[in-house]
């Protein structure tokens, strides 16, 4: 049996390739009575992230997300969006840090990116991990009232969303990680390879 395959490109919106398989034969001649079979394989390009996302924030104030913050919110799951809640307003709740980190606080979490350049990944930090990240710490990670917290603290900026690792939820940071065990409620903070008190 011999199979003849013809490939014919066609453009319909996105690039589509039609594969046409024509008939089968007894090995010597082509059987014209067999109907061609057609299968379509569609390929697509990833849509560009939105330049901005408009949301209604607290007290009905419109909040416009831009850059990596807008891209991260646009790509967030429905669960993540609901858990984040409404964006908070005011200079203290959104902007750019001296380091260049951009952020937007929400009722239930924060979205951050190390800068506002296109293509820079944004990350969502929330819950007990966010609480531990916001504990003021000395440079070695030890909790201290006079220490720094969040992205300017010893952990630095997030480098991942919260991910399941076995039974734990883990977020990585520039200089460490925070693990949360939902079953026990325990939080473990690691700064530069050393486990330090969570401060919670």
The pLDDT score that the predictor gives to residue 85 is: 94
Higher pLDDT among residues 195 and 24, named by residue: 195
The pLDDT score that the predictor gives to residue 104 is: 96
Tell me 36's DSSP state.
P
Same domain, 85 and 58: yes
Same domain, 158 and 98: no
Report how far residue 157's alpha carbon sits from residue 155's, in angstroms, rounded to the nearest whole number.
7
Q: Model confidence at 58, in pLDDT bands (50, 70, 90)?
A: confident
Same domain, 132 and 175: yes
Burial (Cβ within 10 Å: 0-12, 13-18, ≥19) of residue 161:
buried
pLDDT tens-place string over residues 20-57: 333 333 444 444 444 444 444 444 455 666 678 888 88
Same domain, 89 and 138: no
Q: Which of 70, 100, 121 is the last residue of a domain?
A: 121
Same domain, 84 and 98: yes
Same domain, 30 and 65: no
The pLDDT score that the predictor gives to residue 91 is: 85
pLDDT tens-place string over residues 89-127: 988 999 999 999 999 999 999 999 999 998 999 999 999
The pLDDT score that the predictor gives to residue 19 is: 33
Same domain, 27 and 73: no
Least Cα distance to 177 among 196, 190, 195, 165 occurs for 190
Q: Is the pLDDT of residue 129 over 70?
A: yes
Same domain, 113 and 143: no
Mean residue pLDDT of the chain comes to 81
What is the pTM assigned to this prediction?
0.73
Same domain, 8 and 59: no
Report how far residue 123's alpha carbon sits from residue 174's, in angstroms, rounded to the nearest whole number.
12
Same domain, 132 and 117: no
All residues at 6 or more sequence positions from 98 whose CB lies less than 8 Å from its CB, including other chains: none
Give the chain's length.
200
Same domain, 117 and 130: no
Q: pLDDT > 90: what percent of the chain?
A: 66
The backbone region for 193, taken as left when phi is positive above 0, alpha when psi lies in -120 to 50, beta otherwise, is left
Range of the domain at 33: 3-42
pLDDT tens-place string over residues 155-178: 999 999 999 999 999 999 999 999
Instruction: Give the number of other Cβ atoms within 10 Å of residue 129's Cβ.
Output: 23
The pLDDT score that the predictor gives to residue 46 is: 57
Least Cα distance to 87 among 60, 67, 68, 114 occurs for 60
Q: Which of 103, 121, 139 is the last residue of a domain?
A: 121
Higher pLDDT among residues 185 and 27, named by residue: 185
Least Cα distance to 168 among 186, 195, 150 occurs for 186
Question: Do the beta carbons of residue 44 and residue 14 sit within 8 Å?
Answer: yes
Same domain, 112 and 168: no
Q: Which of 94, 121, 148 is the last residue of a domain?
A: 121
Question: Do the beta carbons of residue 49 and residue 75 sit within 8 Å?
Answer: yes
Domain count for the chain? 3
The pLDDT score that the predictor gives to residue 180 is: 97
């Amino acid at each position: 049996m011999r199979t003849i395959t013809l490939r014919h490109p066609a453009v319909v919106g996105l690039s589509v390739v039609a594969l046409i398989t024509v008939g089968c034969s007894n090995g010597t001649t082509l059987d014209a009575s067999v109907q061609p079979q057609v299968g379509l394989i569609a390929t697509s390009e990833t849509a560009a992230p939105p330049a901005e996302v408009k949301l209604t924030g607290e007290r009905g104030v419109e909040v416009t997300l831009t850059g990596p913050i807008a891209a991260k919110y646009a790509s967030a799951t429905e669960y993540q969006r609901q858990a984040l809640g409404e964006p908070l307003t005011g200079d203290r709740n959104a902007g750019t840090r001296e380091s260049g980190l951009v952020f937007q606080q929400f009722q239930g979490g924060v979205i951050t990116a190390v800068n506002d350049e296109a293509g820079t990944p944004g990350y969502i930090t929330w819950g007990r991990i966010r609480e531990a990240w916001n504990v003021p710490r000395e440079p070695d990670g030890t909790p201290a009232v006079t220490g720094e917290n969040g992205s300017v603290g010893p952990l630095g900026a997030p480098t991942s969303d919260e991910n399941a690792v076995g039974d734990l939820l883990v977020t990585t940071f520039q200089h460490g990680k925070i693990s949360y065990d939902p079953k026990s409620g325990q939080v473990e903070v690691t700064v530069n390879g050393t486990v330090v008190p969570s401060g919670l």
